[in-house]
Amino acid sequence: MSMGTLRDRAAEKVRELKEEGLDPQPVTGVSARGKIANSFWGHSWCRHLELHCDYENRLPRGRSYVRNGAVVHLDIDPGEVNALVMGSELYELSIRFDPLSSQVWQSILESCRGQIGSMVELLQGKLSDKVMERVTDPGKGLFPQPGEMHFNCNCLDWADMCKHVAAVLYGIGARLDEEPELLFRLRGVNHQELLESGCATENLLAGLGNRSRRTLDVAKIRDVFGIEPEGFESLQELLAEGNPGKLDDGSAETEVEIEKEPEDPDSFDGEAIRSLRVWIGLNEKSFAAQLGISAKQLAEWEAAEGVLPLNEEQKEFLKEIQKEKSGE
């Protein structure tokens, strides 16, 4: 069967499933040439697969299949992937992943302590070389080893990894371009933990720099200590205690420079939210998950006019992206 025929049959099957009232999630947008995935997480996943010689004879057919839209449905759950792949007929398959061992995860957390500045950096893969090397380590990183993946396809191929399984594995890499947090879900760990472990305090202290020049980032102070800008008079007094009488003399030693925030930093309308989602490169489902809402509600928000009623966590997440975008 030619790849053109395969592509047409796969597209027809997607249409049939939709007509039956189902909601297929095909792997789409994969380039006919070049990389299967382009993001840090997606590309690293594909590269990890190709490091294992056990798979080298099966992966090329899988690449051809995923490039031609043969993966008509891909669902990623904690520890398991279920998929439908078009071939000479429609095949059902599942891949079970062993959870990442707590020992490996704790080692990753320790190595990355204080190294990841924000959720935006994590999801976009804007990480230091040290963190990148640690999370993608072939033997003790986030990605599964061959013995930690268990394949089951109803095709007649005797091999453990058939071309349909290979296509789905590449499909996971392509899906990570849009939903990078799925990797952590697949391995049974919480990506939020990478941002914890006191890194906010460490970043704040690093930002203070030399004691002779106290320039404070309002947002960082507020996030760590819960102090709002209007409370900075007492904070100035606190900083001046080590040098009594010098607060008002204008000297650089005790001068406190306070950054002014935008007039209404907590206001976001639908257009602003959509702009931030497009900039960060996440699809509706993934972005909605970060906001703690459904994809349907996100679509309603993006179409709405006027300021949206967001909770504090949602505002902080959006402001984090806004800050990254303004500094690009």
By CB atoms closer than 10 A (0-12, 13-18, 19+), residue 198 is exposed
Q: HSE of 14 in the Cβ direction (CA atoms, 13 Å)?
A: 19
Residue 152: how many CB atoms within 10 A of its CB?
Answer: 12
Query: Which residue type is seen at 277?
Result: R
Determine the pLDDT at residue 194: 83
Q: Are 175 and 27 spatial neighbours (Cβ–Cβ below 8 Å)?
A: yes
323 pLDDT higher than 80: no
Q: How much is the average pLDDT of 111-119?
A: 79
Digit-coded pLDDT (tens) for 66-93: 999 999 999 999 999 999 999 989 999 9
CB-based contact 268:301 (threshold 8 Å): no
CATH number of 270-326: 1.10.260
State the span(s) of the chain assigned CATH 1.10.260. 270-326
Q: What is the pTM of this model?
A: 0.64
Kindly report the backbone phi and psi dihedral angles of residue 124, in degrees, each rounded to the nearest multiple of 5, phi listed first: -85, -5
Average pLDDT rounded to a whole number, residues 179-185: 88
Question: Could you read off the pLDDT of 46-69 as tens digits, one per residue?
Answer: 999 888 756 667 788 899 999 999
Higher pLDDT, 253 or 313: 313
- State yes or no: pLDDT of 245 exceeds 70: no
221: helix, strand or coil: helix
